[in-house]
Amino acid sequence: MPKVLDGVAIAAAIQQEVAGEVRALTAKGIQPGLAAVMVGNMAASLIYVRNKVQTCASLGIYSDLITRPAAVTTAELLELVASLNARDEIDGILIQLPLPAHVDTKTVLDAVYPGKDVDGLHPLNAGCLMAGRPALAPCTPAGIIEILKRSGIPIRGQHAVVVGRSDIVGKPAAMLLLHQNATVTICHSKTQNLGEITREADILVAAIGRPGYITAKMIKPGATVIDVGMNRITDPTEFARFFAGDAKREAAFAKRGSILIGDVHPQAFEQAGAYTPVPGGVGPLTIAMLMANTVRAAKMRREKNS
């Protein structure tokens, strides 16, 4: 039986460590602070942001949730970001994505001061990550490394294949794995003979954003599979394709009308030696690493000035 890598337990351990760091900083008169900017009223995004704010409160981190209407302009958001850059009690700035189509997302993200860029998306932080210099790394890729390390999965000398090339997950995950001395291959939707490449992976990171895309025949027996996908299925036909005969999930789908699935086909995990489930795998690490990045940003910016 493959080993299930429990992201919930690992995230809880990281949050305990972060709480200890917060107490140590508070004793020095420094309370780390996070500002979360939410545009519009997308229900899923609002729930996600509120979870982040609640986690801040549980760890002793100051938080400020700032909401703006969907009609907000790029100029107005740039003005808001400038004001947050100037606030000394704010160590981290989170711009909840996606922003409305009329907003220039890259311009807004680039306006965040790199030392407060706790999502690790600023070009300066991306460049430092590429060069192996100290930087705030994107939360999900950083969480992937923590899952592997804390689960005792060897990285050094292993062949890691990352399926997906986004700036948020795929590219930074590949860089972080490379810095841990893995041999890294990056694949994507245009890669030819994808299955032949993924079958060579000791560590397979699925971050392509397609439900059940990675099948059993694409996985090397005994490989570690990190499923980053968070895809919501609402179509009964599609549900049956992945979960037919799974009584527990059938009951959940009948009740809620939807269910989450990763980028890996549920039956494919039987081929793995270890894997992250969806939900309960990589997802909880994203918030935990956001908290860790906020505390790290506070240390980098305020401890040296105290």
Q: What is the pLDDT of residues 116-128, one digit of tens each?
A: 999 999 999 999 9
Residue closest to 209 by CA, chosen among 249, 264, 287, 278: 264
- pLDDT tens figures, 6-18: 999 999 999 999 9
Q: What is the pLDDT of residue 292?
A: 98
- pLDDT tens figures, 224-248: 999 999 999 999 999 999 998 899 9
**Maximum C-alpha span of the chain:** 60
pLDDT greater than 70 at residue 51: yes
pLDDT greater than 80 at residue 50: yes
Domain 139-285, second-level architecture: 3-Layer(aba) Sandwich (3.40)
- pLDDT tens figures, 170-204: 999 999 999 999 999 999 989 999 999 999 999 99
pLDDT greater than 90 at residue 302: no
Q: What is the pLDDT of residue 306?
A: 52
148: confidence class by pLDDT, cuts 50, 70, 90: very high
**What one-character DSSP code corresponds to residue 187?**
E
| pTM (two decimals) | 0.94
Say if residues 282 and 276 touch (Cβ distance below 8 Å). yes
Q: What is the pLDDT of residue 43?
A: 75
| Domain 29-113, CATH number (from 3.30.70.260, 3.30.70.20, 3.40.50.10860, 3.40.720.10) | 3.40.50.10860
CATH 3.40.50.720 placement within the chain: 139-285
CATH 3.40.50.10860 placement within the chain: 29-113
Residues labelled as active-site residues: 52, 96, 119
CA angle, residues 169, 174, 175, in degrees to nearest 5:
105
For the range 206-210, what are the long-range contacts, defined as Cβ-Cβ under 8 Å and sequence gap of 24 or more? 206/163, 206/164, 206/262, 206/263, 206/264, 207/162, 207/163, 207/164, 207/166, 207/169, 207/170, 207/173, 207/263, 208/163, 208/164, 208/263, 209/164, 209/166, 209/263, 210/263
- Give CA–CA dist 132/126, Å, rounded: 10
